[in-house]
Amino acid sequence: MSFIVHRSSKPCHSSTHIFKHILVWFLSILFSIARLVSGAHWLSDCVAGGFTEALVIVAFGVYTPIFQLLANSLYWLMNRLTFNKTKKFP
C-alpha cells in the first residue's frame, strides 16, 4: 500500500507524503498485532498473508486503470470536503 500511495499521490508537501506512509504502515502493523494478540493467527500467517495481499494490491494498482479512476475519485472527494471546511458561510 505504501508503494501505491507513493505512486498515486499528487505532488504535495513532503511532511504530508511521509504522514501517508506512516499511516499505512501503522494501520497494517496495528491490524496484524490485533490478530496475533487475539490468538486468531500465528506470526507466520500474518507475514504470509500480508505478503500475498501486498502482491495482489500492487498488481491491481499498477496494472489496472480502475485503480486510477478510484484514486482520482477519492482525491476529488477529499478536496471537496476540504474546500467545504475552509469555506466561510455568512
DSSP per-residue letters across 71-82: HHHHHHHHHHHH
CA 35, 37, 20 angle in degrees (round to 5)?
55
Q: Do 88 and 23 meet the contact criterion of CB atoms below 8 Å apart?
A: no
Which of the four pLDDT bands, split at 50, 70 and 90, describes residue 13? Answer: low
Q: Give the pLDDT confidence of 23-75 residue by residue, as tens digits.
A: 888 888 888 888 888 888 888 888 898 888 878 877 777 777 777 787 778 77
Q: What band does 77 get if pLDDT is binned at 50, 70 and 90?
A: confident
More confident residue, 44 or 19: 44
Give me the half-sphere count of Cα atoms (radius 13 Å) on the Cβ side of residue 58.
10
With beta carbons less than 8 A apart as the criterion, state whether 1 and 28 touch.
Answer: yes
What per-residue confidence (pLDDT) applies to 27?
85
pTM of the complete model? 0.51
